[in-house]
Structure formats: C-alpha cells, structure tokens
C-alpha cells in the first residue's frame, strides 16, 4: 500500500496521521473474507478513528458514509482502510488485531520511527518497510507547501490544487469555517485516508499566519 506513503509536511505536522490497511489477496484469502474484514472494521471503530471510505460506495465517512453502508460493501472488498490521528489509537487497534489473529495482512503508514515503536509495544515485528524518498526533478513545477500538505493526504490525487487554493482563500476571508473547509476538501478522497483533523490544523495555522 503506497498511496498513503507520500504525505507531505514537516515531521511535527505528520506526527498525528496514520493509516491502517487490512488487505486480502486473490486466490489466497479473499474468498469468504467478509466476516473477517467486518471483525477488523469493528476493531478499528473501537479506537479513536478519523476517517474511512470505500470506492464502491463512492464516498468516505467524512462525506457521510455510514458504518452500515460500509459494512455492506466489505464482502466485495480487497480490504479496508481507516485513518487515525493518535499513537494510542494505532496501538489499541494493533494490539486487538494481534489477539484476534485473523490471518489478514495489516499495513500501517506513518512516521517510521513511531510505527516501529508502536509495533514493539504490541509485541509485533514489522515484516516489510516501504519508505518515501521525497520529491525529485524540477520542484518549481510542484504546488506550494501549504497546498501539497493537503493534496497529498489523498494518495490517488483526486484533490485538485486549485480547489485547495480556493478553499484556503475562503478560510482566510471568513467565507468558510475550518471544519466545513476540511470536510469539503475530504469529499474527493473516497477511500477515506484523508485526515480531516490534520487538515483543520493546517488550515488553522494558515489562517493564523494571515490574520
């Protein structure tokens, strides 16, 4: 799972942004996996989650997707993904997943040092690590930092640069409040890895700097 790997920002700004992905594989453990995935989903929801979504549903929790709608789609899924904003939530989810021992691959994204520390506390050993190596090439062609911090929270690049700029301008002028702006920006990210809490923090800092 690399689509949540390239989130842009400072180390401090990325400290409260995690995605946990439960993934099944065709011809290995996908057949009749619905009940196991529903169990994993229920474990995720016991923690302090931020967002989740489903491409078949065409929307995320931030855009009104309900638990019931999500659960109904799980039988046709390859996996489920939920976004969290605290180490405690990630620790709680991983600890319970270890105890459940459902035989489903679990991928966690976030700052590597924090992920390793959390897994060690749970008595887990990471199997594989994928790292983002940053941005190469002509960096003059990429958007400004405040835009990248928001757009890269949608790993499928469905949040447009100009949409972010427009929303930022509306927040600065007072046309949009921070919460409404975060939810508006989350809507295009239907897989639900967009962290609305982090987005609100980014927008709040931008507004503060321009007040």
Domains and their CATH numbers in the chain: 18-122 (3.30.70), 139-209 (no CATH)
Nearest CA to 201 out of 6, 13, 3 is that of 13
Band of pLDDT at residue 1, cut at 50, 70 and 90: low
Could you tell me the two tokens for 183? Answer: 């939810």
Per-residue pLDDT at 176 = 96
Give the mean pLDDT of the chain: 92
- Global model pTM greater than 0.95: no
Q: Is 84 in contact with 18 (CB distance < 8 Å)?
A: yes
What value does the mean pLDDT take over residues 52-60? Answer: 86
Could you tell me the two tokens for 185? Answer: 């920006």
Q: Is 3 in contact with 159 (CB distance < 8 Å)?
A: no
Cα(111)–Cα(24) distance, integer angstroms: 24
Per-residue pLDDT at 32 = 80
What value does the mean pLDDT take over residues 54-71? Answer: 87
49: three-class secondary structure by DSSP = strand
Per-residue pLDDT at 67 = 86
What value does the mean pLDDT take over residues 94-100? Answer: 96
| Chain center to CA of 2 | 12
129-159, pLDDT tens digit by residue? 999 888 899 999 999 999 999 999 999 999 9
Q: Is 74 in contact with 30 (CB distance < 8 Å)?
A: no
Instruction: Match 């960096």 to its residue by tokens.
Output: 139
Nearest CA to 5 out of 164, 179, 88, 128 is that of 128
Instruction: Match 């911090």 to its residue by tokens.
Output: 149
Could you list the beta-strand ranges (E) of 14-77. 18-23, 49-54, 59-60
| Chain center to CA of 198 | 10
Cα Rg for the chain, rounded, in angstroms?
Answer: 17
A 10 A CB-CB count for 64 gives 11
Per-residue pLDDT at 74 = 82
Band of pLDDT at residue 182, cut at 50, 70 and 90: very high
* pLDDT above 70 coverage of the chain, percent: 100
Least confident among 31-35, 61-65, 127-131:
31-35
A 10 A CB-CB count for 167 gives 21
């Amino acid at each position: 799972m690399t689509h949540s790997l390239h989130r842009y920002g400072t180390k401090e700004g990325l400290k409260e942004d995690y995605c946990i992905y439960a993934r099944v594989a065709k011809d290995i453990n996908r057949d009749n996996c619905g009940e196991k995935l529903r169990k994993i989903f229920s474990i995720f929801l016991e923690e302090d989650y931020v967002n989740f979504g489903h491409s078949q549903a065409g929307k995320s929790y931030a855009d009104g997707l309900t638990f019931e709608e999500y659960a109904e789609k799980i039988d046709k899924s390859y996996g489920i993904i939920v976004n969290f904003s605290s180490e405690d939530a990630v620790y709680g989810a991983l600890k319970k997943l270890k105890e459940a021992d459902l035989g489903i691959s679990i991928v966690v994204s976030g700052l590597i040092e924090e992920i390793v520390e959390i897994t060690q506390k749970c008595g887990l050993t990471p199997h594989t690590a994928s790292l983002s190596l940053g941005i190469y090439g002509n960096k003059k062609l990429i958007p400004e930092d405040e835009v990248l911090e928001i757009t890269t929270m949608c790993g499928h690049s469905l949040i447009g640069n100009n949409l972010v700029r427009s929303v930022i301008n509306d927040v600065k002028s007072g046309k949009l409040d921070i919460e409404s702006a975060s939810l508006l920006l989350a809507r295009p990210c239907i897989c639900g890895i967009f962290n609305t809490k982090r987005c609100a923090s980014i927008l709040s800092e931008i507004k503060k700097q321009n007040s």
